[in-house]
Amino acid sequence: MSLDARQKAVLLYSSVIFGAFVLIFLLVVTIFTQHFYSLNLFEANVLDRYRSTFTGIGILFLPAGLFFALGIGWIISRELYPKKASGIFHLDGQEGSSQKEEDFREKMHSVHSTIKNMQAAYEQIQTFSANASHELRTPLTIMRGEIELALRKLKKPEEYQQLLGSLHEEIMRLARILDDLLLIAKTEIGERPIELQPFDLRELVEEMGDEAEMYAEQAEVRFELGETVEAFIEADPLRIRRVLLNLIDNAVKYNKKYGLVRLSMRIEDDVVAVAVEDSGIGIPAEALPRLFERFYRVNDSGTQGTRGTGLGLYLVHWIIKNHGGSIDVSSIPDEGSIFTVYLPLRNPA
C-alpha cells in the first residue's frame, strides 16, 4: 500500500522528533553518569544502580514519547498539507507541487540545523563537564584530605591555624568557580549583572597590586606595580576587579619560576589602558584568535598540571565589552604575554 504525502510527512517528522527524544535521553544519562563518576562522590555500585534505574525509567516512558512524537508529526503534516494528500499535487498543478517541495526542503534544512546545533552543544557540555569536574574535584579532594589528617590526632594551635588557612584558600577557589558559572547562567538568560558607578580606577589598581604581590610571592614569582594615573571611569568595581584578578592570576599561573608580573596604567586620548605583563610561557600564535571563546583552553601541558574551565578569559572579554571597552593581547612563546584592557574615561580631557 502506497502512502500519500501527508502520511509520509507524519512518519518523517515523527521519526525525527522521536529520534531527538532518544538522543537527548542518552545524552542526559551519559553526561550525568560521567559527571558523577568524575566527582567520585558515590561508590561505583551506587552509580551503577543509579544508571540502571534511570535507564529503566526512560525505557518505560519511550512508548509515551513515541505517541507524543506521532501527535506532533501529525500536527506538522496537517499544517503543511491542509488539503487531501491524494489530490494535492494534481489539483494544485506543477507550481503547487514545486512550492510544497520547497517548503519540505526548508523544513528538513531546519531540522538538520537543529541537530547540528545539538551536537555542537553536546560537545561543549562534554568539554566543560570534564574541565569543571576537575576544577571542582581538586579543592574538594584537598579539603577532605586535610580534614581527615586533622581528625587523626590532636595538633598544636599553630598547626590548626595553618590548616584553616589552607581550607580558606580552597573555599575561595570554589567560590570563584561557582561565581563564574552563575555569571555565565545570568548572561545566557539575557541578564546584564553590571551596576555602573563612578570611581577612580587607580585606587582599584593599587589595591590589586598589594594583593597580587602576596599571591605572586607564594608562587615564587616577582610582582612589580608600574606607573599608575588618576582615571575616573563609569563601571562596576566588582566586575573590573574580577577582570584584573583573572588576568593577574593567569600571569602568575602561566609564568616561569622567579618570573616577573607587571601591572601598570596609562592614559591614551579618551581611554585608560591597564596592562598586565608577564615573562611566562607565552601563547601560540594559532591560539590567539580563539583565546576569548567560551570553554576554549590553550594546550598548557607545560604548566605542571595547571588546568582551567576555559571561562576566565571569556568572562574578562564579556565584562570589558559590556563596559564599552576592549582588550588586546600580544604574546611571544617562551618570552611572555601582555594583556591590555581599554576602558572609556568618564570625563576625558
Q: So what's the pLDDT on residue 89?
A: 42
Residue 142: what are its φ and ψ, rounded to 5°? -65, -45
- Position 125 scores a pLDDT of 63
pLDDT tens digits along 83-98: 544 444 444 445 556 7
Q: What is residue 75's predicted lDDT score, i.e. its pLDDT?
A: 72
Determine how many CB atoms are found less than 10 A away from the CB of residue 97. Answer: 14
For residue 280, count other CB atoms closer than 10 A to its CB.
24
Whether the full predicted model's pTM is greater than 0.85, yes or no, is no
Cell digits of residue 184: 555565565
Domains defined along the chain, listed by start: 5-134 (no CATH), 197-344 (3.30.565.10)
Q: pLDDT tens digits, residue range 256-294?
A: 889 999 999 999 989 999 999 999 999 999 989 888 887
pLDDT digits 0-9 by tens, 29-72: 677 666 666 656 556 666 666 667 666 666 666 676 676 667 77
The rounded distance, in Å, linking the Cα atoms of 166 and 161 is 9
Of 17-21, 182-186, 305-309, least confident by mean pLDDT is: 305-309
pLDDT at 222 over 90: yes
Q: What is the pLDDT of residues 223-254, one digit of tens each?
A: 999 999 999 999 999 899 989 999 998 999 89
- 345 DSSP assignment: B
Instruction: Find the helix packing angle between 44-80 and 5-39, rounded to 10°.
Output: 160
